[in-house]
A and B are shown apart, each in its own frame.
Chain A
C-alpha cells in the first residue's frame, strides 16, 4: 500500500514564526501536492510538484513556498506564519499522468497560529 506520512498531526506556532511541514511518500510517485482544507471551502491546492526541484503554483500560493530536493519528500514552508494560515494541511502524491491520476493523501497536519 502507498503510504504518505506527514511530520506532525498537530502543530501550534506563533505569528511571525517560520513553519516547516514535511511530507514523505514511499511509492516513488512523480507528483506531490499540498492542500489546505477549511470548513465550507473543501480542499484548495497550494502548490504541487511533478518532479524533483520542480514546483507549480496552485490556487492559493500566497504566503507559502515549497521545496522538493528528493523525489520522496515535499516540504511546505510558511515564511512568516499568520493567524489566517490556521488550517488543516494535507499532502498527497500520485503517479505521473496517465488515465489514472489517483491521489494518495497523508493524515493531515492541523496547524494553529496564535
Chain B
C-alpha cells in the first residue's frame, strides 16, 4: 500500500513558484516528511524534511498542516535547472519508501 500520493507531472515557466502537494493520509505519529530531487542519470538528492508547520531552507519550503495528512513542497522562482523528478516520502526510520514521484518540467 503506497504511503504517499502525488501528481505524476507538473509544468511551469521560469521565474514562477511551483507547489507540489503530497497526500499521506495514513501518516504515523513518528513519521517525518521528506522530499528528494532527482535529475536524469543521477541518484536522488535530499531537499528538505519536516515534521509539522513550516520548514524553509535555501532551496525550498515545506508546508505541513496541523493534521499532517498532506504536505506541500514550494520551489520559489524556478529555473530550467529545476526540471527534475521530486519524491515525497514519509517514514520514521532508516528505511525509506520512494514512489513514482512528480516530474516537474520548467519551460523558458
Contact = CB atoms under 8 A, between A and B. Distances in A.
Interface of A: 4, 30-31, 35, 40-45, 48, 50, 56, 58-59, 90, 92, 94, 96-97, 99-108
Interface string B51-75: 1000000000000000000000000
Closest 4 CB pairs of A and B: A105-B43, A43-B98, A42-B100, A102-B46
Interface residues of B, number: 22
B94 A31 contact: yes
Contact of B93 (A35, A92, A97): A97
Contacts of A100: 49
Given A90-B43, A97-B94, A104-B46, 10 more contacts: A31-B94, A42-B101, A45-B96, A48-B94, A48-B95, A50-B94, A100-B49, A101-B93, A103-B96, A108-B41
A45 B95 contact: yes
Contacts of A96: 94
24 contacts: A4-B43, A41-B100, A42-B98, A42-B99, A42-B100, A42-B101, A44-B98, A45-B95, A45-B97, A99-B32, A100-B49, A101-B32, A101-B93, A101-B94, A101-B96, A103-B36, A103-B96, A105-B43, A105-B44, A105-B45, A106-B43, A107-B42, A108-B41, A108-B42
Nearest to B47: A102
Interface in B85-108: 87, 91, 93-101
Contact of B94 (A4, A35, A94, A107): A94
Contacts of B44: 43, 90, 103, 105
A105 B42 CA distance: 8
